[in-house]
Copies of this chain bind each other. A is one copy, B any other.
Amino acid sequence: MFIKMDMAADKPIYIQLKEQIIEGIARKELQPGDDLPSVRSLAADIGINVHTVNKVYQQLKQEGYIQIHRKRGVIIHPDGFLPADENYINSLKEELRPLLAASICHNLTIDEFKELSDEIYLQILNKEGEQHE
């Protein structure tokens, strides 16, 4: 598995796990229909509690990233990428807004902000540059 937890970080581990799975989907390492480990095996694998993994899976299901079948287990949603509906766009806007406000206060131009976005975008999709430390 490609999961790397940072137990010392202030970011909750269930958020870390969730983000890494989403990034795995984004870079197509996890493709539609692919199996995900069971809650128990993944929990044992990365050394965290079953409930923590279950919480992540429930949220990913809720947001449409995965499907959960009683016996077969957990799979990446077979329909492929999600629709960028108004709901999603609005939540994205609300998350971007404080980042942009702070950027302005740090003398970052909108062009510099967009260049940064480009950079990270390529970094995510580049299969080589796995880790970001």
Contact = CB atoms under 8 A, between A and B. Distances in A.
Contacts of A113: 117, 121
A33 to B, nearest CB: 15
A72 interface: no
- Of A27, A81, A117, A123, most buried by chain B (CB within 10 Å of CB) is A117
Interface in A95-133: 95-108, 110, 112-114, 116-121, 123-125, 132
A75 B119 CA distance: 36
Contacts of A27: 101, 104
Interface of A: 19, 22-23, 25-27, 65, 81-84, 88-89, 92-108, 110, 112-114, 116-121, 123-125, 132
